[in-house]
């Protein structure tokens, strides 16, 4: 995501268009990008550190962008966890 102090013309254009499309009550829109990385093996502290390094040095322009690294289980993992919880 762009840092809050960086002008976001695309987000502003979307914000201005929303009321014309019948969507009220949105006070701000910020445009961003998302990368999804699939990791081989377990996602441990070392893997997270490596992914943060990739984001900081290659995926994000840290002069104007902030980034966040999150772990999201895919549907197969969620189903497996749910099945274990029910057993």
Comparing 4-13, 15-24, 61-70, 77-86, which segment has the lowest mean pLDDT?
77-86
User: Average pLDDT of 26-42?
Assistant: 92
Please give the pLDDT value at position 76: 59
Ranking 1-5, 53-57, 76-80 by mean pLDDT, the lowest is: 76-80
Residue 42's CB: how many other CB atoms inside 10 A? 7
The phi-psi region of residue 79 (left if phi > 0; otherwise alpha if psi is between -120 and 50; otherwise beta) is alpha
pTM: 0.68
How far is Cα 3 from Cα 65, in angstroms, rounded to an integer?
5
- How does residue 13 score in pLDDT terms, banded at 50, 70 and 90? very high
**Residue 81: what pLDDT?**
55
């Amino acid at each position: 995501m762009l840092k809050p102090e960086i002008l976001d013309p695309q987000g502003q254009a979307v914000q201005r268009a929303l009321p014309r499309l019948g969507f009220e009550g949105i006070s701000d829109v910020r445009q961003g990008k998302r990368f999804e990385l699939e990791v081989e093996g377990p996602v441990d502290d070392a893997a997270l550190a490596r992914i943060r390094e990739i984001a900081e040095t290659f995926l994000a322009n840290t002069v104007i962008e902030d980034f966040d690294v999150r772990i999201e289980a895919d549907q197969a993992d969620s189903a497996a966890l749910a099945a274990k919880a029910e057993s």
